[in-house]
Structure 1
Amino acid sequence: MPRRTATMLASLLTLVALLCAGVLIPVPYSEMSPGPTVNTLGEHGGEPVLQISGHKTYPTTGHLNMTTVRVTGSQYRMNLVEAVYGWLAHDNLVVPHSTLYPEDKSPDELNQETAEEFTQSQESAKVAALKQLDIPVGTRVVVSSVVKGSPAEGQLHAGDMIKAVDGTEVKEPGDVAKLVTRHKAGEKVTFLTVPAKEAAAAEKEKRQPATEETVALVTRPAPDDKRAIVGIQAGTDHTFPFTINIKLADVGGPSAGLMFALGIVDKLTPEDLTGGKFVAGTGTIDENGKVGPIGGIEMKTVGARSKGARYFLTPKDNCAAAAKDTPAGLTLVKVDTIKDALQSLEKVRKGDTAGLPSCSAR
């Protein structure tokens, strides 16, 4: 065989081997890409995203789209070729696998965590929207979680309403720990509760709970400082004067909170918030209407623009990252609170876009 032919054949075989290795060898990376966007004012899966009953609602136009990021699954392992392609692709982001899936958490734990964050974001969105409209929202202290193997396991349950501890009325979550830690480890503490199912039924039927339970627990020492504990985390649940349901499956995390809150406000007020414009956005929201940052902002702006969005409500702390590579035709609007967002939407619907608070890459 001529030397030149042999050299070319060896080079070809080497290239084929490298390509095969690139396809077969897994690398410890995952990929993020633009995910679906959903209009909170519209329908998804054949039913309205926001369903409100027991209070007057108003017609809406335009879009208030929440945005998502699509990620490769926890069990999926990218190969080298895919990773290189992802690094070169403009709209995708390749990150270490551990960034999305920490080694100290199982896939089930991560799914549960994102589901809980999504549920909490809906609750916070409802509260923030009603507070913005000066509609009263009731609160109650509940058991948020129970530690496995603790004195409370099997006696108290997530969702149980805590009315009193040792006969003292509980008004906020911090009261529970204060009352429990008055005891020494090994002493008995008594809870007056309403079971979770009864509390939920009473709220739905707009009545006072019919069932109360007295639960006596023996405290044990905390592993860190030996204070008395029973092994629960207390939290706050809310009671609403009418029903607000958010129907959106296969979505996790807290980042849709702002857009849910704005959609609720739009449906409960005669003013058409968007004026028919296509607005998208993202951001967590707390019960007081404070907007927080999220992950994957670059993916979300791309996904929003590809669906037709012209304006994107951007959490203040995500502005710099979003402004570094803004899709053509998309105006980033900086928001820090739900009030900021509503003021900006007023400018959008009136065409006063020059006055919108903008994002800077610095």
Structure 2
Amino acid sequence: MSETRSTPAPATGGPRPRLTRGRTLALCALPVVLLFVVALCAPLPYSLAQPGETANVLGKHGGKPVISVEGVSERGGDKGRLLSVTIAATQPEATVRLPDVARAWFRDDRAVMPREAVYPGGGDTEDAERHISQEMKESQDKAVTAALRHLHRSPDDVHVKLRLGDVGGPSAGLFFTLGIIDKLDGNGTGAGGLTGGHTVAGTGTIDASGKVGAVGGVPLKTQAARRDGATYFLVPRSQCGEARAQLPSGLRLVPVSTLKGALDALGEIRTDGDVPHC
């Protein structure tokens, strides 16, 4: 006779196997690891910036005069330089990730800035270029108006043309204004220009009434200025603290809030007088 055997049913209700300590820690750590990997790979809403070019508004840029005037004779002859300074930033659509931010954080010549602060309004590179070109055009118009008002000249008699290549934004406004005044009137005494032979750099917006406004990237701009030989840096008064944060050795900060204040400061620089400082 054949014998039929049945397979014993598994026991139920007994104690279940317990997780080991190592397995428990691994399961707990997994979400943290996954989150860290996502953070490393995820694009962030930032731009990376570094010191950019400088341009002597009394000289040439790209082979052409930065400032030229028609209708009157240019004074010229200033032996010094007025350097407008810039920052160079990643393009709007550039991917910036956590490792990029971490590397920039520990470098004095790099800055992490909100993308919206660098490219207001968002958009791609084409949108950004259109926006900063418009800002530059408005800044140039205000600079011309402020300079001619200061000199009591009419735009009907003097035509000013400004060129600064592919540089955009409003932060060259103050130095455009100073450059126009230097070209048309020198230091106002009939002998010599505004700089007294010094290399003076700086930044700041300007409105038609001559009020100087704040700009972005000031610590990086001070580095560009010193790199290119400036010994004085005109900075919007409200940004003195920001400018001091990473001030290069050998560069003196000169606070300004109006066009008249900037011209007065240049007068003190020319004569080795009591130059204001932050």
TM-score by length of 1: 0.61
* Superposed structure 1 runs of 4+ greater than 6 Å apart: none
Compared with structure 1, are the counterparts of its residues 104 and 84 closer, same or farther at alpha carbon in structure 2 (3 Å cutoff)?
Answer: closer
Instruction: Please tell me whether residue 49 in structure 1 is matched to residue 66 in structure 2.
Output: yes
**Aligned equivalents of 2:50, 2:216: Cα separation in 1:** 12
Compared with structure 1, are the counterparts of its residues 96 and 104 closer, same or farther at alpha carbon in structure 2 (3 Å cutoff)?
Answer: closer
Compared with structure 1, are the counterparts of its residues 274 and 105 closer, same or farther at alpha carbon in structure 2 (3 Å cutoff)?
Answer: same
CA shift for structure 1 position 247:
1.2
Compared with structure 1, are the counterparts of its residues 103 and 253 closer, same or farther at alpha carbon in structure 2 (3 Å cutoff)?
Answer: closer
Q: Which runs of 5+ in 1 are unaligned?
A: 1-20, 138-239
Compared with structure 1, are the counterparts of its residues 81 and 119 closer, same or farther at alpha carbon in structure 2 (3 Å cutoff)?
Answer: same
Match of 1:131 among 149, 167, 180: 149
Number of aligned pairs?
237
Compared with structure 1, are the counterparts of its residues 325 and 266 closer, same or farther at alpha carbon in structure 2 (3 Å cutoff)?
Answer: same
Return the letter of the residue paired with 1:259.
F
CA shift for structure 1 position 103:
7.1
Partner of 1:241: 157
Partner of 1:27: 43
Instruction: Please tell me whether residue 251 in structure 1 is matched to residue 167 in structure 2.
Output: yes
Partner of 1:285: 206
**Aligned equivalents of 2:114, 2:143: Cα separation in 1:** 32
Compared with structure 1, are the counterparts of its residues 114 and 102 closer, same or farther at alpha carbon in structure 2 (3 Å cutoff)?
Answer: closer
Instruction: Please tell me whether residue 333 in structure 1 is matched to residue 249 in structure 2.
Output: no
Correspondences of 1:258-277 after superposition (within 5 Å): 258-269=174-185, 270=190, 271-277=192-198
Aligned-partner SS, 1:67:
strand
Correspondences of 1:208-247 after superposition (within 5 Å): 240-247=156-163
Partner of 1:71: 89
Aligned-partner SS, 1:345:
helix
Compared with structure 1, are the counterparts of its residues 294 and 98 closer, same or farther at alpha carbon in structure 2 (3 Å cutoff)?
Answer: closer
CA shift for structure 1 position 82:
2.3
Correspondences of 1:1-362 after superposition (within 5 Å): 25-28=41-44, 29-58=46-75, 59-101=77-119, 105-137=123-155, 240-269=156-185, 270=190, 271-352=192-273, 355-359=274-278
**Aligned equivalents of 2:135, 2:103: Cα separation in 1:** 32
Compared with structure 1, are the counterparts of its residues 267 and 97 closer, same or farther at alpha carbon in structure 2 (3 Å cutoff)?
Answer: closer
CA shift for structure 1 position 101:
4.3
Return the letter of the residue paired with 1:70.
A
TM-score by length of 2: 0.79
CA shift for structure 1 position 350:
0.8
CA shift for structure 1 position 102:
5.8
Aligned-partner SS, 1:38:
strand
- The answer on whether the counterparts of 2:122 and 2:128 sit within 8 Å (CA) in structure 1 is no
**Aligned equivalents of 1:349, 1:85: Cα separation in 2:** 41
**Aligned equivalents of 2:234, 2:175: Cα separation in 1:** 9
**Aligned equivalents of 2:182, 2:122: Cα separation in 1:** 41
Aligned-partner SS, 1:317:
helix
Compared with structure 1, are the counterparts of its residues 96 and 346 closer, same or farther at alpha carbon in structure 2 (3 Å cutoff)?
Answer: closer
Return the letter of the residue paired with 1:32.
A
Compared with structure 1, are the counterparts of its residues 344 and 101 closer, same or farther at alpha carbon in structure 2 (3 Å cutoff)?
Answer: closer
**Aligned equivalents of 1:84, 1:38: Cα separation in 2:** 31
Partner of 2:26: none
CA shift for structure 1 position 49:
0.6
Compared with structure 1, are the counterparts of its residues 326 and 78 closer, same or farther at alpha carbon in structure 2 (3 Å cutoff)?
Answer: same
CA shift for structure 1 position 79:
3.5
Provide Cα deviations, 1:303-357, integer angstroms capped at 9, x if missing partner. 11111100001111111211222111000001111111111111111111xx222
**Aligned equivalents of 1:322, 1:335: Cα separation in 2:** 13
